[in-house]
């Protein structure tokens, strides 16, 4: 995608936050005090006012991902796409940015530091989905607890990790790591025939701050990436005769 096809949402297309909703307030308080917060699926759905039809439509985008060849080179079967947006929480303005390689900075992901990774862009249908807009907007308001910057860059990664009886799925083959951003989030979109996939957030010195298995679609895990590390355990098939997969939306925010 180039700048001539940039997608923009102005403030007229969203309702500005007149006051801090309970879901946002709770997340901000937890992130400021402990560096991590788990937002239950029911809370996320209620905040967005979305039902089963909206979530089923959103989940359908995970059927249109492309192979992650960089993960495949290390023996992990993973599908994904990638895109970036600018976000101004105060006004609700959000604009899709031109496609660029994904690069993680020094002292973050040990497997890919300073490596230009080229992924297929987000589909137009995914970008246009109102739930994506809602997720990124929510994260922008939550991230205000960590940095008072007026504008954010949101990096959006829909992932599908696959596993078979012979090959476990590795959501984080790099192990415990940082992403080199301010806020990192993982929204569970769906799981099928999968066991495992336990998400853990750690303090820099090693103590575990939170561990949970995201198993209900719309569960949202948030952490302050500047002061924590995170990782996810492998997934395996519950029924060994069938493959397994785990679908998540990983979105990170860093000041523009």
pLDDT of 117 reads 74
Per DSSP, 144 falls in state T
Q: Which of these, 129, 94, 88, lies nearest to 13 by C-alpha position?
A: 94
CB-based burial label for 127 (10 Å; 0-12, 13-18, 19+): middle
pTM of the model: 0.89
- Write down how long the chain is: 256
Cβ-based neighbours of 209, under 8 Å, separated by 6 or more: 34, 35, 36, 201, 202, 203, 223, 228
> Which residues of the chain fall below pLDDT 70?
1-19, 70-75, 104-115
| φ, ψ dihedrals at 57, nearest 5° | -65, -45
pLDDT of 54 reads 95
pLDDT of 18 reads 44
> Do 138 and 26 contact (CB within 8 A), yes or no?
no
Rounded percentage of the chain residues whose pLDDT exceeds 90 = 70
> Do 145 and 32 contact (CB within 8 A), yes or no?
yes
pLDDT of 176 reads 87
């Amino acid at each position: 995608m180039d700048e001539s096809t940039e997608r923009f949402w102005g403030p007229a297309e969203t309702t500005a936050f007149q006051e801090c909703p309970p879901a946002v307030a709770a997340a901000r308080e937890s992130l400021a005090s402990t560096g991590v917060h788990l937002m239950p699926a029911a809370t996320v759905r209620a905040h967005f006012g979305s039902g089963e039809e909206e979530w089923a439509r959103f989940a359908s985008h995970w059927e249109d991902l492309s192979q992650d060849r960089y993960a495949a080179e290390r023996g992990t079967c993973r599908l994904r796409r990638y895109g970036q947006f600018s976000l101004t929480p105060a006004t609700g303005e959000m604009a899709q940015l031109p496609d660029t390689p994904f690069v993680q900075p020094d002292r973050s992901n040990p497997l890919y530091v300073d490596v230009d990774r080229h992924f297929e862009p987000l589909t137009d249908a995914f970008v246009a989905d109102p739930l994506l807009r809602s997720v990124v907007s929510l994260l922008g308001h939550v991230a205000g607890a960590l940095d008072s910057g007026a504008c954010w860059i949101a990096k959006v990664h829909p992932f599908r990790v696959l596993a078979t009886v012979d090959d476990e799925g590795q959501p984080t083959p790099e192990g415990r790591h940082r992403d080199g951003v301010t806020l990192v989030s993982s929204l569970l979109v769906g799981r099928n025939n999968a066991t495992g996939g336990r998400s853990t957030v750690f303090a820099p010195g090693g103590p575990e701050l939170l561990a949970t298995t995201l198993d209900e679609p719309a569960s949202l895990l948030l952490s302050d990436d500047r002061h924590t590390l995170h990782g996810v355990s492998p997934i395996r098939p519950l029924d060994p005769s069938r493959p397994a997969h785990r679908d998540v939306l990983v979105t990170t925010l860093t000041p523009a």
